[in-house]
Amino acid sequence: MTGPGKDPCLREIAALRERVRYLEEVEKEFAALARALKDSEERYRFVVKEIRDGIFIAQDGRVKVANPSMTELVGFTAEELDAVPIADLVRPEDRERVLGRYREILSGADIKGALAFRALRKGGQEFQAEVRAVSITWEERPAALCLLRDVTRQAHLESRLQYARKMEAVGTLAGGIAHDFNNHLQGISGYIQLLMMRGDRDRTEQGWLLQIERSVQRAAALTKQLLIFSRREESRLEPLDLNEVVRQAQKTLARTIPESIATELRLAADLNPIDGDAVQLEHALFNLGINAKDAMPDGGKIVIGTRNVRLDEAFCRRHAGVKPGDYVELSFADTGRGMERETLERIFEPFYTTKSVGSGIGMGLAIVYAIVQSHHGIILCESRPASGTIFRILVPAGQREGAVPGKEARKKADYRGVETILLVDDEVDILDIGQNTLEQFGYTALMARSGEEAVETYARRGRDIDLVILDLGMPGMGGERCLQELLKMNPSVKVLIASGYAATQTVEAILRAGATGFMAKPYRLEDMLKKVREVLEGQGDEVPLGD
């Protein structure tokens, strides 16, 4: 009898059992590997399905496989994408760059980084996109595994940041130039005034000096705009009722824009106050009005609106420069010809203009931009050709306590206007100085050297004339007779008397005769400008103005 270790059958049985155990171990390992693979596949599918970026496989110039985010991003279903060439998902101007990158990937090139381009959704809507891709083998043929990301908001914020930096740099340059230029202008103006005070020059030479001084003042007006743009001219912020500012600005605009352009106000009844500078805000509205007027040469409509708004986190993420909270919106819309996108991107740049030479220097909207910035707000613009333009200004709301009308703030600091004023005096120098001063503050000045010429001018242009500044002591038809003739033509005419005769009885008599106000010569030009504004706004006084 043989032992177990020597029995061939037993040896085979033992070996068989060992193999069974091995196979069981292999099966367990395979099952574990299968479970791991399944888990990995599920995780992969979850990631691909849930990721917000578009993931797709491109082959033969088409999208073969895409995750849900990709179909949502471009607006096509997975079935539709298979029939859409990749080129149709790219703006025509960018197609060569994108297809060139695609061909490089298919050739096996290892390209790092994203390619930025303008993509197209179903229907043709554009969005800013970035794509990253690697070469793979799909169904035994070369293909590209791609990740597409919508970066429109990021691109918008980067663009605004770059624009803000550019405007800040230009503003710094403009402010420095304006400051130095003003120093030179002050020297020129000072010497001119010294020459004019000598009194030993004939009228021709005096006229030349006045023309030089006028040019200096015009240059100074330009540097003032540069200082506003560079924000070196400090804003005087105080509680304001923006509705009142709009109403005052509308009065100014009404005297500037033609009758073919209608103006409508849509002002919120319970508007929050703001901390603002009424002078600058009226200036901004006036510039917007001029811009709208130029866009509507054949007439149209301007709509100015106000309302309370609350900006949320989502809005502030899309628009740099504002924080969540309560704001007041000022909208300014016109029905003009609108703007191309290229123009829209540059409208707030200083000295950028689409007008013909001599029709403007391109500072109007740049000043508006600077004023809004100084109020810690933002300005948005929407426009399309033939569809009009709307500007939206958003400034932080202030405290309700202590709000004051914008009109009062303006009176304390600003004597500007756009009215037409007739100056009547037999002294040419006084006419020249008056015309120069008024024009520098925005008015249109007409001149008459006698009462007769004043009556003749008013008969021809009375509809355009808002105020007459009349000297009493003139040869021929004196000031009192001229006043009577003007009142006959228009009982509502506004006449501001300027005279060296400041006796109380003379003043009272001339006011009773129908004059609106009185200035005693000599007067300071600032006092004249202040009196002009008061009379134009219906606040004639009953006492002499002067030293």
Kindly report the CATH number that applies to the domain delimited by 54-150: 3.30.450.20
Q: At what angle do helices 203-229 and 152-198 cross, to 10 degrees?
A: 160
Question: d(Cα 398, Cα 219) in Å, to the nearest integer?
Answer: 36
| Residue-level pLDDT at 466 | 93
Residues 6 or more apart whose Cβ sits within 8 Å of residue 182: 220, 223
Q: Which residues pair with 447 in a beta bridge?
A: 423
Question: d(Cα 236, Cα 238) in Å, to the nearest integer?
Answer: 7
| Residue-level pLDDT at 42 | 53
| Residue-level pLDDT at 397 | 92
Contact 241, 330 (CB under 8 A): no
| Residue-level pLDDT at 342 | 80
Indicate the pTM of the whole model: 0.47
Percent of the chain with pLDDT over 90: 27
Helix (DSSP H) and strand (DSSP E) numbers for the chain: 17, 18
| Residue-level pLDDT at 331 | 96
Topology of domain 238-411 in CATH is Heat Shock Protein 90 (3.30.565)
Specify the CATH architecture of the domain 420-536.
3-Layer(aba) Sandwich (3.40)
Kindly report the CATH number that applies to the domain delimited by 155-229: 1.10.287
Question: d(Cα 373, Cα 229) in Å, to the nearest integer?
Answer: 9
| Residue-level pLDDT at 392 | 96
| Residue-level pLDDT at 465 | 93
Q: What is the pLDDT of residues 213-233, one digit of tens each?
A: 777 777 776 676 666 666 555
| Residue-level pLDDT at 39 | 55
| Residue-level pLDDT at 504 | 45
| Residue-level pLDDT at 47 | 46
Q: Which residues pair with 413 in a beta bridge?
A: none
Q: In this structure, what token pair is assigned to residue 201?
A: 């020059």
For the chain, residues with pLDDT lower than 70 are: 1-6, 22-23, 26-27, 29-50, 159-164, 166-180, 182-187, 189-191, 193-194, 197-201, 221-222, 224-236, 351-362, 400-414, 500-507, 521-524, 540-547
